[in-house]
């Protein structure tokens, strides 16, 4: 059903419907709600390409890629933006990407996206506890969508994130079933929210399952300082020989872990066990590692839906929690079976 057909069906002018579903302020809230209800009832969704042509205003999406990130993280971000671009390209929504060398350059890049490229929506990745990018965009009254939660009310912005409690439960259940109780959690020194949420959820599930997890078993690394962090992990390995499993909260630390184990002559799956969170890169880097992997197609589909919904109705805020999957490989030793034998 196109706009004119919908207009005829509900008996309302085309211009009023367009403005109401486009979030324009000159349509009162009662009319907006009525039109939204009718659109849902009749399964009507505005065609973004037609909307662009009619308004002579391109509904574009902006993204800033930090170049100072480590290699693995940059690969993950590039794959992320490629997936978005591929899906949005099908509905003629351009994606404008700018590279940023540092934090100052990053904020300047957002200014360019807003003032020069005139994007209608900005996508933020790796949200932090106190994220200056969000404060900046709020100040400019600029719509955004975040991959990762912020400290704001969950209904006050548009976002997508992992169902951390669900993911932690499947990880802990698997760890327990293989007899591991001495666990090292490898996290980040960065203040990204997903590290904080994963750490908190892991600690809570350890308590529920009577697994003692002490502060010294949390090892925070910097992914962009390979040699220094590798030495730190080697020191931990030598000092904590009773640790049987390492749970890595991001694939960006995997190369540090693999090299540390190699230098200390620890064979993965025999001398030590590993589980890594993954954004679909670990399989190519280390195919034998057990992972907690993002459901790529599910994320891509629902992220696109969130973007389209936000572009169609800029005042609408929705969120989506995706469930990652445990992909079992050869990197986790079954201590229970080993002790029985």
Q: The pTM is what?
A: 0.79
Please check whether residue 256 lies inside any domain of the structure: yes
Output the CA torsion 213→215→219→221 (10° steps): 140
Shared domain check, 178 and 35: no
Shared domain check, 38 and 176: no
Q: What total of structural domains would you count in the chain?
A: 2
Please check whether residue 236 lies inside any domain of the structure: yes
Shared domain check, 176 and 39: no
Shared domain check, 332 and 195: yes
Output the CA torsion 160→166→171→177 (10° steps): -170
- Find the domain containing 196 and state its range: 164-294+326-340
Shared domain check, 174 and 42: no
Please check whether residue 208 lies inside any domain of the structure: yes
- Residue 104 CB: number of other CB atoms within 10 A? 9
Kindly tell me the sign of the dihedral angle through the C-alpha atoms of 176, 177, 180, 185: negative
Shared domain check, 332 and 204: yes
Question: pLDDT digit string (tens) for 124-150?
Answer: 988 987 889 999 999 989 999 999 998
CB 205 within 8 Å of CB 172 = yes
Do the bridges between strand 183-188 and strand 218-221 make them parallel or antiparallel, or are there none, so unpaired?
Answer: parallel
Measuring CA to CA, how many Å separate 104 from each of 111, 124, 177, 334? 11, 16, 47, 48
First to last CA, the chain: 66
Please check whether residue 89 lies inside any domain of the structure: no
CB 248 within 8 Å of CB 186 = yes
Question: pLDDT digit string (tens) for 192-208?
Answer: 898 999 999 999 999 89
Shared domain check, 331 and 188: yes
Shared domain check, 180 and 41: no
Shared domain check, 41 and 188: no
Please check whether residue 41 lies inside any domain of the structure: yes
Please check whether residue 261 lies inside any domain of the structure: yes
Shared domain check, 185 and 334: yes
Q: What is the mean pLDDT of the chain?
A: 86
Q: For position 51, what pLDDT does the model report?
A: 54
Question: pLDDT digit string (tens) for 305-316?
Answer: 999 999 988 888
Please check whether residue 153 lies inside any domain of the structure: no
Which two tokens mark 57? Answer: 């205003």
Please check whether residue 109 lies inside any domain of the structure: no
Residue 34 vs residue 318, higher pLDDT: 318
Shared domain check, 192 and 332: yes
Shared domain check, 27 and 175: no
Do the bridges between strand 121-125 and strand 95-100 make them parallel or antiparallel, or are there none, so unpaired?
Answer: unpaired
Do the bridges between strand 325-327 and strand 290-293 make them parallel or antiparallel, or are there none, so unpaired?
Answer: antiparallel
Identify the weakest region by mean pLDDT among 41-55, 58-72, 215-229: 41-55
């Amino acid at each position: 059903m196109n706009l004119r057909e919908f207009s005829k069906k509900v008996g309302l002018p085309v211009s009023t419907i367009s403005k109401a579903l486009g979030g324009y302020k000159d349509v009162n809230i009662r009319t907006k709600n009525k039109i939204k209800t009718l659109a849902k009832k009749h399964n009507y969704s505005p065609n973004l390409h037609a909307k662009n042509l009619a308004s002579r205003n391109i509904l574009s999406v902006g993204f800033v890629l930090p170049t100072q990130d480590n290699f693995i993280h940059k690969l993950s971000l590039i794959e992320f933006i490629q997936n978005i671009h591929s899906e949005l390209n099908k509905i003629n929504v351009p994606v404008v990407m700018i590279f940023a060398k540092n934090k100052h350059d990053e904020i300047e890049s957002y200014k360019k996206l807003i003032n020069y490229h005139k994007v209608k929506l900005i996508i933020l990745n790796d949200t932090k506890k106190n994220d200056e990018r969000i404060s900046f965009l709020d100040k400019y009254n600029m719509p955004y969508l975040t991959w990762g939660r912020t400290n704001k009310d969950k209904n006050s912005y548009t976002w997508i994130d992992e169902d951390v409690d669900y993911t932690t439960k499947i990880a802990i259940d698997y760890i327990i079933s293989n007899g591991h109780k001495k666990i090292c959690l490898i996290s980040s020194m960065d203040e990204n929210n997903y590290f904080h949420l994963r750490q908190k959820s892991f600690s809570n599930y350890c308590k529920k399952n009577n697994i003692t997890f002490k502060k010294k078993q949390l090892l925070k690394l910097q992914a962009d300082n390979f040699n220094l962090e590798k030495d730190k992990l080697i020191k931990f390995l030598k000092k904590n020989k009773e640790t049987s499993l390492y749970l890595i909260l991001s694939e960006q630390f995997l190369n540090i872990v693999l090299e540390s184990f190699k230098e200390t002559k620890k064979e993965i799956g025999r001398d030590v066990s590993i589980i890594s969170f993954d954004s679909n890169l670990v399989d190519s880097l280390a195919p034998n590692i057990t992972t907690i992997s993002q459901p790529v197609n599910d994320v891509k589909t629902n992220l696109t839906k969130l973007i389209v919904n936000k572009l169609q109705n800029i005042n609408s805020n929705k969120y989506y929690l995706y469930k990652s999957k445990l992909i079992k490989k050869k990197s986790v030793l079954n201590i229970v079976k080993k002790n029985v034998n």
